[in-house]
């Protein structure tokens, strides 16, 4: 059986420190024809559930807890029975959006999540947020970076809970050490590769400058992938990227969601 990456774009609002901005978010679905995990349940639980196409959702993985990446997570969890996974350092951010609903389990550095015969390794990459994580899937030659690394440089760090020196350390020490042909699938906008970003002066050199504009990507607003056109549809089409993988790996046991019963 073949593991694949499905891609959905949803639109909504990013809010922090008293400001609000329209954003388009990448939602990534990793799995096969029977089971999957969702990376960043953004804005529209109904659209994400439809994109699953009846597959069993094993987990909802949050790359960090800015509201635009988690706002649909509880509704998706309720609809599917899947647990929500978040790094504990982002619990304070999570509670700003969902004060009455805690995540179901913690993500830890080095943790391995197994789905459809492939493994995603959790890399703790603080900076954009204290509990920001990336998910590295070597069988798919892909790393899912949330808002830590984008095409052209690091995510923004000009708001609460963020740190520019920390995000640079995370990118240099945890991401640029991956193979150069690894595809970087981001929280907003277009993909890139580790090799391309290693050659980028805004990421790989000490000349990098802190981004303070009100967008998670860290890119200039005039070229930001997060600037939503008024009147654009709420959701985009689902695209698939396929690569053969070994389906004989051991299955991952994910925790049950809060308040659920298991048989």
Let me know the angle formed at the C-alpha of 150 by 149 and 151, rounded to the nearest 5 degrees. 140
Euclidean distance between the first and final Cα of the chain, in Å?
27
Higher pLDDT, 11 or 259: 11
Q: What is the DSSP letter of 235?
A: B
* 150-192 per-position pLDDT tens digit: 999 999 999 999 999 999 999 999 999 999 999 999 999 999 9
Q: What is the DSSP letter of 122?
A: E
* 196-226 per-position pLDDT tens digit: 999 985 444 444 555 544 444 444 332 333 2
pLDDT band at 107, cuts 50/70/90?
A: very high
> What share of residues in the chain are helix, strand, coil (percent, to 5)?
20, 30, 45
Mean pLDDT along residues 51-65: 98
Cβ contact 6:240 at 8 Å: yes
pLDDT surpassing 70 at residue 139: yes
């Amino acid at each position: 059986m073949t593991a694949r990456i499905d891609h959905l774009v949803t639109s909504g609002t990013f809010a922090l420190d008293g400001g609000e901005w329209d954003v388009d978010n990448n939602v990534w679905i990793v799995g096969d024809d029977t089971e999957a995990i969702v990376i960043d349940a953004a804005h529209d639980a109904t659209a994400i559930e439809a994109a699953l196409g009846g597959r069993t959702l094993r987990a909802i993985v949050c790359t960090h807890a800015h509201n635009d990446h988690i706002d649909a997570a509880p509704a998706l969890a309720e609809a599917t029975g899947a647990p929500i996974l978040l790094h504990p350092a982002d619990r304070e951010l999570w509670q700003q959006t969902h004060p009455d609903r805690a995540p179901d389990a913690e993500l830890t550095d080095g943790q391995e999540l197994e789905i459809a015969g492939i493994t995603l390794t959790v890399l703790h990459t603080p900076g954009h947020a204290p509990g920001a994580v990336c998910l590295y899937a070597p069988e798919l030659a892909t790393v899912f970076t949330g808002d830590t690394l984008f095409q052209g440089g690091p995510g923004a760090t000009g708001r609460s809970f963020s740190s520019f020196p920390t995000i640079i350390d995370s990118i240099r020490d945890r991401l640029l050490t991956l193979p150069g042909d690894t595809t970087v699938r981001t929280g907003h906008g277009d993909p890139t590769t580790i090799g391309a970003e290693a050659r980028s002066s805004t990421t790989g050199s000490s000349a990098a400058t802190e981004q303070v504009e009100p967008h998670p990507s860290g890119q200039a607003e005039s070229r930001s992938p997060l600037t939503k056109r008024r009147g654009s549809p709420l959701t985009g089409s689902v695209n698939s990227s396929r690569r053969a993988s070994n389906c004989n790996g051991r299955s991952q046991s994910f925790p049950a969601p809060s308040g659920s019963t298991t048989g």
